[in-house]
Structure 1
Amino acid sequence: MTSSSSSSRNLPKENPISRPSVAKTRAPLGDVVNRRNPLGDITNQKTGSRISAPSSTLVRCSNKIGRSKKASKPPKPNAKSNLLVPYEDIIESPQRNAESDLGNDADEVDDIDSNLVDPQLCGAFACDIYEHLLLSEVKKRPAFDYMERVQPNINATMRTILIDWLVEVAEEYRLLPETLYLAVNCLDRYLSGNVITKQNLQLLGVSCMMIAAKYEEVCVPQVESFCYITDNTYLRNELLEMESSVLNYLKFELTTPTAKCFLRRFVRAAKGKTEVPSLLFESLASYLSELSLLDYAMLRYAPSLVAASAVFLARYILHPSRKPWSSTLEHYTSYRAKHLEACVTNLLQLCHESPSADVVAVRKKYSQDKYKFAAKKFCPTSLPQELFL
């Protein structure tokens, strides 16, 4: 009994997420004194760790925000440095068609909720669930002009670089897409009412990623892991303090609809009740939707509108000879084609923008075989006006 219990105590405990080794810290390149940089280095590894064993060399992003600060100077805000602007008060609500449920006389509306066998589809309650999501998305949207109104120290370019880095972290640590979308939502909602410094922008970003991971993931990286991906630029207690600040400002309201929530249903509506959505179509729609996260100007559009526009554009790219919008899509999205024109045009512009060396994560991610090389698909330079009539 004694030897058995003694040997059992000596057995190593299994940990699904091993703690990264922080015994030997590395100073960021070009900074021998290891000063705090806006973005840390996420290339550190530990052999055998599931979440810290990168499959490829990551692009360094330590000094990107510093460069963008010089390149783009934000306008002077109207708010004082300690002003809190409620994000509910400055939201531009999308226009929807009240008669969209009537559909189009040209074709019938498919019932995509007729499958009551699969409990994950929630066929009996799906319509009520998504009707609630359409109503609640307005209440939990960030302000679309917080950079001009609230933030004197950061600009849209810094936000883009930060989110591009978060995309890279989510891909490297195998986090769910829902985690990334929720992290960006928390980031923008917090920035809508709290002034942040350039030095703490990455701290805010990684804190929002940790919050989203705790909400969405089954296997969550440890706090030390999130410190480690910033090259230990921030201490554990700083990360926890920022996490507390974000959660208190958001009043712990994390159940918020994102574009990813709507995209799953809209993709099913695009294929109808009989066809199985192709992986290429899903990947292309996801790619377009994820590109929208990088662009500060896309905050003007509701998440459901972004998802619907991504489906519209993906259908046209894959099948330019077909009409990209149908009565079924109009019914389940509550948008007519004419409501999507501005958002679709902006998404098309994002596809054609030449990516800078600082913003490559989304395109690199969707250039892989597992996403059917969606980022490499040919995109038209413009769309016929009759598609939106």
Structure 2
Amino acid sequence: MENMRSENYNQGVSMAGVKHAPEMANNNRRALRDIKNIIGAPHQHMAVSKRGLQDKPAAVDPKNQAGLAGHRPVTRKFAATLANQPSSAPLAPIGSERQKRNVDAAFHGPADMECTKVISDDLPLPMMSEMDEVMSSELKEIEMEDIEEAAPDIDSCDANNSLAVVEYVDEIYSFYRRSEGLSCVSPSYMLSQTDINEKMRGILIDWLIEVHYKLELLDETLFLTVNIIDRFLARENVVRKKLQLVGVTAMLLACKYEEVSVPVVEDLILICDRAYTRADILEMERMIVNTLQFDMSVPTPYCFMRRFLKAAESDKKLELMSFFIIELSLVEYEMLKFRPSMLAAAAIYTAQCTINGFKSWNKCCELHTKYSEEQLMECSKMMVELHQKAGHGKLTGVHRKYSTFRYGCAAKLEPAVFLLKSVAL
């Protein structure tokens, strides 16, 4: 024994200066000698001689030979699993899958074993083919939900036109669709006004359409003017004697935003028959921009009209008819309940039905507008009714404008009354 200690001591000193080498060697031998938690083999020890550990294991009882497969520490979870198993269930023979799993588990630490979920061999496991089938079916369902039918390409003809911004035109209109709700107002905002009503608003807009026509302004200027008026009236209380002042000032702001050549203030004063002064217009201009927080960049129905007309492969006749119908909608207060994209799509659909004499809404229009024929039906019916009474009553400015040859006499076409009889599916 003294020789063994001296040899071990010398061996320990020579190991890179590690201290307490004798104790480490003794501890290792004691730990291997005292292992008693081998599953199925309570007292199987490694043979120890005076020379140290031997490679041969001690004699094993043939009856407990299968226990060698259980080289795994007994954790609380594993012991509970073993306790729940039927006592009559025989262990798998050496070389089986059970042995391989247990041998692999023996090389992991106790911390890994605590995190491992033990599954009883008696419980039936799903076949790989069944699992693959379930997973593939779930993935197919997810893909079907996410994939939308791609809209036909309508921009290839403008590939060489830098002003068409073909590279990101889809992103622009996706942004318009997300932000168009911010440009809308409550369809009942007139209830908060004490001195004006929806009829006075209609008279103002009908008059502004005539002013817009005589000044030969851009189409987008008219739509932005109406949007500014509605957003301002929805936030500020206005007396009726200043309602016209709000209208001409809103048009001045829209011209500054859209036009290259802006009408001078003196021209607007003459248009109002000198009812207001220059100071009145400038003061109202400051009031409007402060109330709207200088937010003039909003998606109006005109933004969507141009895109949707392109999807419909429109000609000049369809374009003029569509703008005639949507300008009638600008005057009508009840049409505020529809979003700008809905108004644009319904105007084009109604114009197609008016020109063709039958329902006309193809797949390309539906995919680009993202509105089906059934979704447009309510708005389209209201537009047909506006077309029917456009030439009657006091508000005939739009009808007179589109009865000229400059606008293709679009107002003289018969309205699509058959849409009023159709039933929404």
TM-score, shorter chain, exceeding 0.5 = yes
**Matched residue, 2:83:** none
Q: 1:152 to 1:100 in 2, by over 3 A?
A: farther
Q: Distance in 1 between matches of 2:379 and 2:146?
A: 21
**Structure 1 residues 167-191: Cα deviation after superposition (integer angstroms, max 9, x where no partner):** 0000001111111110000000000
| Aligned pair partner of 2:194 in 152, 165, 168 | 152
1:341 maps to a residue whose letter is: M
| Aligned pair partner of 2:218 in 165, 168, 176 | 176
TM-score by length of 1: 0.69
Per the TM alignment, residue 99 of structure 1 is displaced from its structure 2 partner at its CA by: 8.5
Q: 1:207 to 1:132 in 2, by over 3 A?
A: same
TM-score by length of 2: 0.63
1:307 maps to a residue whose letter is: A
**Matched residue, 2:403:** 367
**Matched residue, 1:62:** none
Q: Does structure 2 retain, via aligned residues, the 8 Å contact 1:317–1:380?
A: yes
**Matched residue, 1:331:** 367
**Structure 1 residues 32-63: Cα deviation after superposition (integer angstroms, max 9, x where no partner):** xxxxxxxxxxxxxxxxxxxxxxxxxxxxxxxx
Q: Does structure 2 retain, via aligned residues, the 8 Å contact 1:290–1:362?
A: yes
**Matched residue, 2:270:** 228
Q: Does structure 2 retain, via aligned residues, the 8 Å contact 1:213–1:220?
A: yes
**Matched residue, 2:227:** 185
**Matched residue, 1:124:** 167
Q: 1:128 to 1:239 in 2, by over 3 A?
A: same
1:301 maps to a residue whose letter is: F
- What are the equivalent positions in structure 2 for 1:1-389 lying under 5 Å apart? 101-102=148-149, 109-114=151-156, 115-148=158-191, 150-271=192-313, 277-321=314-358, 323-353=359-389, 355-356=391-392, 358-383=394-419, 389=425
Q: 1:191 to 1:101 in 2, by over 3 A?
A: farther
Q: Distance in 1 between matches of 2:416 and 2:159?
A: 39
CA RMSD of aligned residues (A): 1.9
Per the TM alignment, residue 118 of structure 1 is displaced from its structure 2 partner at its CA by: 1.4
Q: Distance in 1 between matches of 2:146 and 2:401?
A: 39
SS in 2 for 1:200: helix
Q: Does structure 1 retain, via aligned residues, the 8 Å contact 2:390–2:398?
A: no
SS in 2 for 1:290: helix
Q: Does structure 2 retain, via aligned residues, the 8 Å contact 1:101–1:331?
A: no
Per the TM alignment, residue 100 of structure 1 is displaced from its structure 2 partner at its CA by: 10
**Matched residue, 1:82:** none
SS in 1 for 2:419: coil
Q: Distance in 1 between matches of 2:272 and 2:360?
A: 43
SS in 2 for 1:102: coil
**Structure 1 residues 51-78: Cα deviation after superposition (integer angstroms, max 9, x where no partner):** xxxxxxxxxxxxxxxxxxxxxxxxxxxx
**Structure 1 residues 232-252: Cα deviation after superposition (integer angstroms, max 9, x where no partner):** 100001100001110001111
Which structure has greater helix proportion? Answer: 2
Paired residues in the alignment total 280
**Structure 1 residues 125-158: Cα deviation after superposition (integer angstroms, max 9, x where no partner):** 111000100111101212211111x111111111
1:125 maps to a residue whose letter is: Y
Q: Which runs of 5+ in 1 are unaligned?
A: 1-97, 104-108, 272-276
Q: Distance in 1 between matches of 2:423 and 2:363?
A: 14
SS in 1 for 2:166: coil
Q: Which runs of 5+ in 2 are unaligned?
A: 1-144
**Matched residue, 1:52:** none
Q: 1:318 to 1:100 in 2, by over 3 A?
A: farther
Q: 1:237 to 1:100 in 2, by over 3 A?
A: farther
Looking at CA atoms only, which structure, 1 or 2, has the larger radius of gyration?
2
Bigger relative CO (Cα 8 Å, ≥ 6 apart): 1
Q: Does structure 2 retain, via aligned residues, the 8 Å contact 1:101–1:334?
A: no
